[in-house]
Amino acid sequence: MAIVRPFKAVRPKPELAVKICELPYDVVSTAEARDVALKNPYSFFRVSKPEIEFPDTTNPYLPEVYNKARENFLKMLVKGWLIQDSKPSFYIYRLISGNHIQSGIAALASCEDYINNIIKKHELTQPEKEEDRMMHIDTLNAQTGTVFLVYNPVAAIDEFAQKITATQPSIDFTASDGVRHSSWVISDDEQIKFLGTEFSKLDSIYIADGHHRAAAGVRVYKKRQGAGQSGGLLSVLFAKHQVKILPYNRVLKDLNGNDKASLFKKLSEVSIIKKTNNPVPDRKGVFCLYIDREWYRAEFKEDILKLGEAVDRLDASLIQRYVLEPILGITNPRTDKRIQYIGGVKGTEELERLVNEGMAICAFSMFPTTVDELTAVSDSGKIMPPKSTWFEPKLRDAMFCHLI
C-alpha cells in the first residue's frame, strides 16, 4: 500500500514563477547556472546551486556553500517571492512541451515506503552526490527538488486530474525552453481523501528520476529520527503512460586501439551493420554509429536479443555488454572518462558536432528505454546501466518546496 500525503507547499508568487523556477540542479553546469543567475536576481539556482555565489575554485561541498543556500532560500521567503500555503494540500503539476502533455500529483511520498521497497528503484546512487543533497536538505530544513515517480495508471485519478486541469491554474508560465508549467491546488478535504485512498490501492510506485534526492531525503529522515516533517519525500507522481523518455546517447574519445576497420569487424560479430542516412534507431535492439562523418545502422543479432532477464535485454545493457566493454574497453561506464553521455533532448546534431569538431572519435545514437522496461527492471530488483533514461520535459525546481 503506497502512502502519499498532502503538505503545505512553499511555492513561488505566481507572477514571479517564470523568473524563480529553474531546471533541476543536476542537469546544468555551474557555469550555465551562474550565467542565468547573473541576469536574473530571482533565479532559484542561488538555492539549488549555491556554489555560483563563490569563486570557481571554491569546493562546492563546504559548509559555507550550503549555508549560503539556506540564506538565499530564507531571503526568498522573507521577501515574499516564495510563499507557504496555509493548509496541507495536494497539487496537480502539468507540463506541456509541443504536443506532449503530462499531468502529475505533487505530494509527499513516504520515506518508510522507500525503506520497505514499496517505492522501487532502478539506479545506484553515487555517494558524493547523495551526500551533497543530504547536506543541502539538512542545512535548508527543506526539500527543494522533487522526486519524479511513476505508477501504473489509475482511471479515477486520470479523470479527476482532467476535471481539475480544465479550470484556471494557480501558477501558469512558459519557460525559456518553450515548456509550459501549470499547477493547481487541491485543498478540498473530500478531494484530498479521494486521492489518498486511490494511491493507497497501489502496491508499488517507481522512481523515474531523482534517486539521489530520494536517498538523501531518507538519510535526513533517519538522522532526525522522523522528527518534524522529515518523513515525507517531495514528489510528483505521474501515471506511467503519460511520461516520455528520450534516448541517452553515448560518445567515445578513442577506439581503444582499434582502427575503423577492426572496429567494424568486431561489431559485425554481434550485429548486422550497414551505412544509413537515418541517425535515429528505428526500433529496440538497434543503435546507430557515427564515425568519419558517416552514419551506420547496427542491429544486434537475433540470438543476442533473446538472452537474459529484462535488465539484460535493455539496449543500454546490450551496447555495454557487447560493444562498449569488450571492444572499446569501457569496463566501468560510471567513471570512465573516455565516455560521455548526451541527453536525447540535444538530438543527433550534437553527436555529429562533437565528432566533427574532434572532441570525440565516434558516437552512438540509442533507441530510448521504455517506461515498461523501467518498471520491469525495478520489479525484478535489478539495477539499470547508468544513463539509461532521459526524461523530458524536466520538472522545474521551486514549483514546490517542502519544509521539513
For residue 288, pLDDT beyond 90: yes
As a whole number of Å, the end-to-end CA separation of the chain is 23
Helix (H, G, I), strand (E, B) or coil at 300: strand
Helix (H, G, I), strand (E, B) or coil at 107: strand
Q: What is the pLDDT of residue 334?
A: 87
- Alpha carbon 213 to its chain's center: 10
CA angle (197, 116, 190) in 5-degree steps: 15
Q: What is the pLDDT of residues 38-92, one digit of tens each?
A: 999 999 999 999 999 999 999 999 999 999 999 999 999 999 999 999 999 999 9
For residue 300, pLDDT beyond 90: yes
What are the beta bridge partners of residue 248?
343
Helix (H, G, I), strand (E, B) or coil at 174: strand
Q: What is the pLDDT of residue 197?
A: 98
Mean pLDDT of 305-317: 90
Backbone angles phi, psi at 93, to 5 degrees: -120, 115
Which is higher by pLDDT, 386 or 230?
230
Mean pLDDT of 247-252: 97
Q: What is the pLDDT of residue 375?
A: 96
Rounded Cα distance, 190 and 48, in Å: 35
For residue 94, pLDDT beyond 90: yes
Question: What percentage of the chain reaches a pLDDT higher than 70?
Answer: 100
For residue 308, pLDDT beyond 90: no
Q: What is the pLDDT of residues 9-31, one digit of tens each?
A: 999 999 999 999 999 999 999 99
Which stretch of DSSP H or E encloses residue 160? helix 155-164
Neighbours of 302 (CB within 10 A): 9
Which three cell numbers, joined as nine digits, stand for 338?
573516455
Averaged pLDDT score across all residues of the chain: 97
For residue 307, pLDDT beyond 90: no
For residue 275, pLDDT beyond 90: yes
DSSP state of 239: E
Mean pLDDT of 136-160: 98
Q: What is the pLDDT of residue 77?
A: 98
Of 380, 399, 282, nearest to 9 (Cα)? 399
Q: What is the pLDDT of residues 150-206, one digit of tens each?
A: 999 999 999 999 999 999 999 999 999 999 999 999 999 999 999 999 999 999 999
Contact 270, 384 (CB under 8 A): no
Which stretch of DSSP H or E encloses residue 275? strand 271-276
Helix (H, G, I), strand (E, B) or coil at 321: helix
Burial class, 370, CB count within 10 angstroms (exposed 0-12 / middle 13-18 / buried 19+): middle
Q: What is the pLDDT of residues 333-384, one digit of tens each?
A: 988 999 999 999 999 999 999 999 999 999 999 999 999 999 999 999 999 9
CATH architecture of 248-367: 2-Layer Sandwich (3.30)
Q: What is the pLDDT of residue 227?
A: 97
Q: Where in the chain is the domain with CATH 3.30.1760?
A: 248-367
If pLDDT is split at 50, 70 and 90, which confidence band does 121 have? very high
Burial call 92-128: b when 16+ CB within 10 Å, e when fewer: bbbbbbeeeebbbbbbbbbbebbeeebbbbbbebeee
Q: What is the pLDDT of residue 196?
A: 97
Please provide the DSSP assignment of 329-398 as one string.
--S-TTT-TTEEEEEGGGHHHHHHHHHHTTS-SEEEEPPPPPHHHHHHHHHHT--PPTT--EESSPPPBT
For residue 99, pLDDT beyond 90: yes
Rounded Cα distance, 297 and 348, in Å: 14
